[in-house]
Amino acid sequence: MALNFKFVPPTPPLNNDKCEPITSWRLASVVQTVIALCLLSIMLVGCGGDNENPIPTPITAPTKVPSTQAEKPTSTFTPTPIVIDGTRIDLDLGDFYIRSDKSSEISGDITFVAKNVGSIEHELLVVKTHTPAGSLPLKGAEVDERSIGEIMARINPEELGAGEYSQISTTLESGVYALICNIPGHYSSGMYASLIIN
């Protein structure tokens, strides 16, 4: 919308005695200028784009999740990996647990599909070991990876941020395996599960 508005104040009458503009005329001119600027502002606000709802919508503050729900969220993911050869095992990694849809499987090609349902990054190590998953030796705040057995597969933390999923395939022979998160402090907080391959 084009505005054809030009304000030209009329020439004020002069006081014949002193050759100065009349003071009331100055006041009237200022009032007219203020009114003109107000009208112009109203017209410009009315022309402010094609926004259907010019009034900003207030953003609702996030509600705090009760601690029982935050500790063990339920995963609803169904990722579809590009290729699966053999068996698929779905895992939920939360703050701080690992849940699997299977506790045992037959030997062969296994694809682990790990979903991080927690609020921080996690990692996944698949370890062939003779030690129960909850009793692996520690080195500081981590599992001592040099003395736990053979690491068969790993998904690094940068591949498994909060809300992300990743997959890794490996061939597993018969035996006992531990699934762990070895970010410092996570294993000792409960991030492990056992898997038996028959």
The pLDDT of residue 151: 96
Considering only 71-85, 103-117, 184-198, which range has the smallest mean pLDDT? 71-85
Task: Identify the domain containing residue 4 by its residue range.
Answer: 1-51
Question: Amino acid identity of 64?
Answer: K
- Do 102 and 192 fall within a single domain? yes
Residues 141 and 78 in one domain: yes
Instruction: Please report the pLDDT score of residue 34 as a whole number.
Output: 77
- Per-residue pLDDT, averaged over 135-159, amounts to 96
Tokens matching residue 39:
């009208």
pLDDT digits (tens, 9 = 90+) for 149-166: 999 999 999 999 999 999
Q: How many CA atoms does the CB half-sphere of 25 hold within 13 Å?
A: 10
> At residue 21, does pLDDT exceed 70?
no
Q: Residue 111: its pLDDT value, please?
A: 95
Q: What was the pLDDT predicted at 155?
A: 97
The domain tally of the chain equals 2
* Closest to 159 measured CA to CA, from 124, 188, 190, 194: 124
91 lies in the same domain as 186: yes
Q: Do the domain assignments include residue 57?
A: no
pLDDT(52) > 80: no
The pLDDT of residue 35 is: 83
71 pLDDT band, cuts 50/70/90, is very low
For residue 20 the two structure tokens come to: 């100065």
Overall pTM > 0.75: no
Stretch 70-82: mean pLDDT: 45
Within the chain, strands assigned E span 14-15, 20-21, 87-94, 97-100, 104-105, 108-116, 124-128, 138-139, 142-143, 150-155, 165-172, 175-180, 192-197
Residue 50 has a pLDDT of 53
Extract the runs of DSSP E, i.e. beta strands, from 36-174.
87-94, 97-100, 104-105, 108-116, 124-128, 138-139, 142-143, 150-155, 165-172
One domain for residues 27 and 78: no
Q: Domain for residue 47, yes or no?
A: yes
Judge whether 1 lies within some domain: yes
Same domain, 110 and 151: yes
pLDDT tens-digit map of 165-177: 999 999 999 999 9
Per the domain annotation, does 118 fall within a domain?
yes
Together in a domain, 89 and 147: yes
* 59 in a structural domain: no
Give the side-chain half-sphere CA count within 13 A for 32: 11
Q: Domain with 167 in it: what CATH number?
A: 2.60.40.420
* Domain annotation covers residue 165: yes
